[in-house]
Structure 1
């Protein structure tokens, strides 16, 4: 479906792009011609991710920044604009999560996740949106969601709550910024192979077997499938889609578990 250059005149930014789904999305956007930037907090991980993508011939650069830090976000955006051009494709993938009984969740634990997931997504989205609207740059945003925000999860109330906030933010900004040519959507993957989330949420074999039993398609998502769906939402193939959520969970929600 995709031309190899559908993003040939665009600059893409992926937060949390050093591993897992974020890295797969960065690779996919670069393969479709985007000048691609990734943001992360760990400089060594950034260097490894950029090197792995550059070895495949992709134009990717890494920028060290904490999405919770507004000054760092603005500094990274200025550097990206200097190296490439204003961001026209934004993927907010940076996240944090861990399992905990809600009665044992500390204020620090709650704040750590909410600050990364909700506040970090807001910081990037507002900063990029402001630049795009001021400069009349077309902008498409994909925020990575979680099915726990839709169904609930007893052990990840902090993450589910933050991602639910991201969903509300996405819908609100989609309505506010549509007249400026800005689209925002949420992409919600089910549990995905070879990602940290799979280990955090279903770390034992019995837990994973129980999870797979509730997926009608009988397997986990592949990172490449999530990356392709993200590229679709960002691209002009999804030009009439805004304020929506695309759930990719193999039918799990249909089982009610």
Structure 2
């Protein structure tokens, strides 16, 4: 049995300083691989370095929608960076109307840039959406995101939004939030999700699952996410592990 953490930020300082211990705990919890996801260009090299150093770590390239005062990527720049070995996705990208307010057209343009780059290099997208699902889905449709597919990461939206994303060829990734007692709507999404469209993640160092809620998260604990999903769906842990691992390597086709 093995699990894959499809989204983490182990290049962030608090996790990077204990990277060897982090990888050992992954092994103890049967977590075979992890995808370290980029959030901006100035810190991108730390993501690429981890992927280059460790066989079981992959990388993405992108600029998170929450990062307002940061160098803006161009399609050409993202395409060039995507040629780096071990880069398997474009993102994290998307829209977030929760943390930032005002005229957010720059967010929408940045999102379009990432989709265009992904189409050019034929890599899947890692999409963040918060309080912005209508515009997120609309731009995905307008820019042809269905041509490359991807994942709606750390999904917290409704079943209707999940269906719209899956109709565009996207996977749905559930994080530790699904283990929280009050996350009833998300638990319902988990119950309804077809196994062949499901991924699991930690979003480390954030959102530690039960029974570690409130602590600094780590990729090893993605197993707890899988355990809770198996319980919600009345399935064996093995079946959830097999499906989510197979889905990861199917979606991120550069990963080996």
Q: Normalized against structure 1, the TM-score is what? A: 0.39
Which of the two has greater helix per residue? 1
Higher RCO (Cα < 8 Å, 6 or more apart): 2
TM-score (norm 2): 0.40
Structure whose CA Rg is larger: 1
